[in-house]
Amino acid sequence: MSLDLTDNEIIARVLRGDQQAYGQLVGRYQHYVFTLAFRLTQSREDAEEIAQDSFIKAYRSLADFKGGSKFSTWLYTIAHNTGITFLRKKKLPVQSMDEEKNFLQLENQESGFQSNQVEEKSKHQMVNQAIAMLSAEDAQIITLFYKADQSLQEIGQVMGLDPNTVKVRLFRARQRLKEKMEVYFREEVANLQST
Amino acid sequence: MEAKQRMEERIWAYMDGLLDGKEKAAVEKLLITDPAWKRCHDSLRDLDRTLHSVSLEEPSMRFTKNVMDQITSLQVAPATRTYVNKRIIYGIGGFFLLLITATLAYVIPQLDFSQTSPQQFPVKLPSMEFDWSRYVNPTTLQVFFILDAVAALFFLDRYLQRKKTGWQSGTAK
């Protein structure tokens, strides 16, 4: 089985009855869907559940995918909606993590600074920690734009927002991320810039 | 502060490729001539590069297998367009359109625009000489309430059974 098949070719195979071909789509997008879910929940266990549900829903509805957009955009829309429904069921805040949770995370990270553990952490871990301090919505927009390779229009489709609103929210999300990094990772940022 | 924010906003738009030719040229000129713009651009470009290179979260090793195990018992559902009959949708739409048109056709010719008194309704409604007491009496009301109670119990039973099945499948996982 060729691994170079396009998404639409794999979908055509699945629709012809080749169920195993769907595994290629799962393998291709599992990290993206899992990361999106993790940005919403901040829990690996919940993110795994949301990501699995999203792939199962996508499989069941595969015949409804008309190819008018990228498969990834369609899949992320399912993942986003599944995540939001999950949070509502669990009565967790949908728009953003509450301030208390943010402060708790920050306290933990600051205690990490004191034991000099953070100095060993990579730049990527530092940015991931800063992203984790953002609201779920900000973190999702950043992930969709930078990692999932989605345009502003596509992010709008996934999150049910107007592209201009996405543009404004992306700007604000990056501003907030920059602020977090300047406040909580000042030394690390300075070290990285000097190297 | 606001000027700095506007500057950052334009630089981000420039880096995202969202500016048109004229605006892009203006920003490029500022980046060459204004050190503050250059500094800001360098700092935002660093953040932009870092964000592009950040790694994704890793799901569990068994993730694909778990999904594939779960879909083995499932079928791809038929496309919505194959079972939603458009004729029915158009039929319902047509019925309501006809109803609205008929109501307007009945009401508009009867409107008396010379009528100034707000007390009098300008449209003469058809009289309804109908003996409701033949149908609405204590016996029919009792039957109605009994049927309601039976329906409520039936749906409550179905709801509880579904919940019970959900718990059982939840514990079986």
**Strand, coil or helix: B136:** coil
pLDDT above 50 (res A97): no
Q: Is A103 in the B-facing interface, judged by CB distances under 8 Å?
A: no
Q: What are phi and psi of B95, to 5 degrees?
A: -60, -45
At B30, list the tokens.
């500022």
pLDDT above 60 (res A40): yes
State residue B172's pLDDT score.
Answer: 42
CB contact under 8 A, A123 and B58: no
Give the whole-angstrom CA distance, residue A165 versus residue A152: 9
Q: Is B5 in the A-facing interface, judged by CB distances under 8 Å?
A: yes
Give the whole-angstrom CA distance, residue B125 versus residue B107: 9
- Please name the member of A14, A55, A178 whose beta carbon is closest to the beta carbon of B76: A14
Query: Which residues, 6 or more positions from A126, have their beta carbon under 8 angstroms from its beta carbon?
Result: A118, A181, A185, A188, A189
**Strand, coil or helix: A76:** helix
Check if A7-89 and A99-194 are the same fold: no
Average pLDDT over residues A126-146: 90
pLDDT above 90 (res A162): yes
Give B-chain residues touching A79 at CB under 8 angstroms.
Answer: none
HEC string of B18-74?
CCCHHHHHHHHHHHHHCHHHHHHHHHHHHHHHHHHHCCCCCCCCCHHHHHHHHHCCC
Are A130 and A140 a contacting pair, CB within 8 Å?
Answer: no
Give the whole-angstrom CA distance, residue A142 versus residue A31: 15
CB contact under 8 A, B76 and A26: no
Give me the CATH code for the A99-194 domain, please: 1.10.10.10
State residue A60's pLDDT score.
Answer: 94
Give the whole-angstrom CA distance, residue A101 versus residue A106: 9
More confident residue, B108 or A143: A143
- The confidence band for A103, taking pLDDT boundaries of 50, 70 and 90, is very low
The residue ranges of every structural domain in chain B are 2-53, 137-173
- Which of A 115-144 lie inside 8 A of B, CB atoms? 123-124, 127-128, 131, 142
Q: Is the ipTM, as predicted for this complex, more than 0.90? A: no
pTM exceeds 0.80, yes or no = no
CATH architecture of the domain with residue range A7-89: Orthogonal Bundle (1.10)
Instruction: Describe chain A by its helix, strand, coil percentages, rounded to 5.
Output: 75, 0, 25
HEC string of A142-173?
HHHHHHCCCCHHHHHHHHCCCHHHHHHHHHHH
State residue A116's pLDDT score.
Answer: 44
Give the whole-angstrom CA distance, residue B77 versus residue A166: 32
The residue ranges of every structural domain in chain A are 7-89, 99-194
Average pLDDT over residues B45-67: 90
Average pLDDT over residues A5-27: 93
State residue A139's pLDDT score.
Answer: 93
CB contact under 8 A, A62 and B76: yes
Q: What are phi and psi of A94, to 5 degrees?
A: -85, -45
A172 to chain B: nearest residue by CA? Answer: B9
Give the whole-angstrom CA distance, residue A41 versus residue A84: 9
CB contact under 8 A, B63 and A30: yes
